[in-house]
Amino acid sequence: MLNYCFLYLNALTGIESKDNTLPSEGRGHRFKSYRVRQATFPAEMQQHRVGIFQRKSAAVLITLLLSLTATAKPAEPTTIASTSLCGDSYLLALAPDHISALSWQSRSPLSLANDAQKQLPQLWDDPEVLLSAKADYILFGAGEGAKANALPAAPLNLIWGENFSTLFSNAKMIEDALALKTETTQNWSRRIEALTHKSEQRGNHPKILYLSRSGGSAGRGTLVDAAITAAGGVNIAETSGWFTPDPEHIIAYDPDLIITSYFKNGYESVQSSAVRNKAVQRFIAGRPNVEIDGNLWPCAGPGLIEAAELISDAIDKLP
């Protein structure tokens, strides 16, 4: 519609009156009085009248164009949904205005969603459930989305990893899909650089032990290890990966700082030995410790940076 209006406006403003005769002038022998009146209008007067018509028509058309522009609806944003708690953390940090649904865990204590976001529809990796998802993209957790090709929404699969490189790789995938233009990832880089600088200024590297509610710990190569290293500490657990030491093994460690997680908002189970075993409780209470909220690191997501910052602050408070 707008294109047609612009074409008409161009044609209207480009009118040139090259022939000053009126359509009936060739029949002057039948309408002599008309020919006398026509003679009283010189070419300049005729051009002036055409110019007035052009200007008035152009003004009306411009008003119409402005009205159409003002009432035009903006394009709907690209939407995306998540099936995992890890995916939720990425979308909440990168694209909160694009979310159409969050995972089945989005209303649990481990979710970072606010009250309004917790009212969004919930999804999980089930073909029938996913068919009802109203989204342009669906963000699957690692190992999910086996039947994603049958869905109307385009699939995105998170890369599983336990370091900051994984964080930036997944973020770039989401930003590219949604054509996001933000400074979020640049801000993440600056925060990590600030941690490195702070560690270098501090000089010392305290020994740190991680314990989850279940009594599990995290060794080298885990996301917890990545956060400890970024904060300027040294993981006291030399075992690689995730493991669950016996209580006797736990209390044999001699850390400068203990990190606990999922103690306040974890799932209650019979394996919650770190909060049930009296010897482990005394061991934790007898040393400097800091609780890192479990919702910050369900995976190597955006919250991993905040977790590292909290560990760094705890190191600064060591005696």
Higher pLDDT among residues 124 and 7, named by residue: 124
Instruction: Give pLDDT tens digits for 208-251.
Output: 999 999 899 999 999 999 999 999 999 999 999 999 999 999 99
Classify residue 145: in a domain, yes or no: yes
165: CATH? 3.40.50.1980
Handedness of CA 225, 230, 231, 236 (dihedral sign): positive
β 289-292/257-261 pair status: parallel
Indicate whether 125 and 64 sit together in one domain.
Answer: no
What's the rounded Cα separation, in Å, for the pair 117 and 82? 12
Residues 60 and 88 in one domain: no
What pairing do the DSSP bridges indicate for beta strands 234-235 and 257-261? Answer: unpaired
Q: 30 lies in which domain range? A: 2-71
Query: Are 310 and 208 part of one and the same domain?
Result: yes
Q: Is residue 67 part of a domain?
A: yes
Question: DSSP per residue over 167-198, as a string?
Answer: HHHHHHHHHHHHT---SHHHHHHHHHHHHHHH
Q: Which tens digit of pLDDT belongs to each residue from 27-67? A: 443 333 334 344 454 555 556 555 555 565 556 566 665 66
The model carries a pTM of: 0.76
Flag whether 194 is in a domain: no
* pLDDT at site 29: 38
Among 40, 71, 102, the domain-final residue is: 71
Nearest in space to 5 (alpha carbons), one of 45, 53, 58? 58
- Predicted local distance difference test score (pLDDT) of residue 272: 72
pLDDT of 198 strictly over 60:
yes
312 and 248 belong to one structural domain: yes
Domain boundary among 17, 36, 71: 71
Q: 281 CB contacts (<8 Å, ≥6 apart)?
A: 274, 275
How far is Cα 68 from Cα 62, in angstroms, rounded to an integer? 10
- CB-CB neighbours of 225 under 10 Å: 22
Q: Which helix (H) or strand (E) holds 23?
A: none
Same domain, 209 and 308: yes
Tokens of 125: 């990796």
Asked if the model's pLDDT at residue 133 lies above 70, the reply is yes
| 172 within a domain of the structure (yes/no) | yes
DSSP 71-140: HPPPPPPP-EEESSHHHHHHHHHH-GGGEEEEETTTTSTT----TTGGGS-EE-S-HHHHHT---SEEEE
Same domain, 96 and 19: no
Task: Select from 71, 95, 114 the last residue of a domain.
Answer: 71
Distance of CA 70 to the CA centre of its chain: 29
Q: Which amino acid is residue 122, in one-letter code?
A: Q
The answer to whether position 193 is within a domain reads: no
Q: Above 80 in pLDDT, residue 80?
A: yes
- What pLDDT shows up at residue 1? 52
Residues 6 or more apart whose CB falls under 8 angstroms from that of 45 comprise none
**Are residues 256 and 209 part of one domain?**
yes
Instruction: Give the per-residue pLDDT at 16.
Output: 44
User: In this prediction, what percent of the chain has a pLDDT beyond 70?
Assistant: 74
Pair (170, 207) in one structural domain: no
Same-domain status, 89 and 62:
no
Highest-scoring range by mean pLDDT, 131-135, 222-226, 261-265: 222-226
Whether the CB-CB separation of 17 and 50 falls below 8 Å is answered with: yes
Could you tell me if residue 189 is inside a domain?
A: no
103 vs 70: CA distance, rounded Å: 38
How many domains does one find in the chain?
3
Domain check: are 86 and 62 in the same one?
A: no
In a domain, 18, yes or no: yes
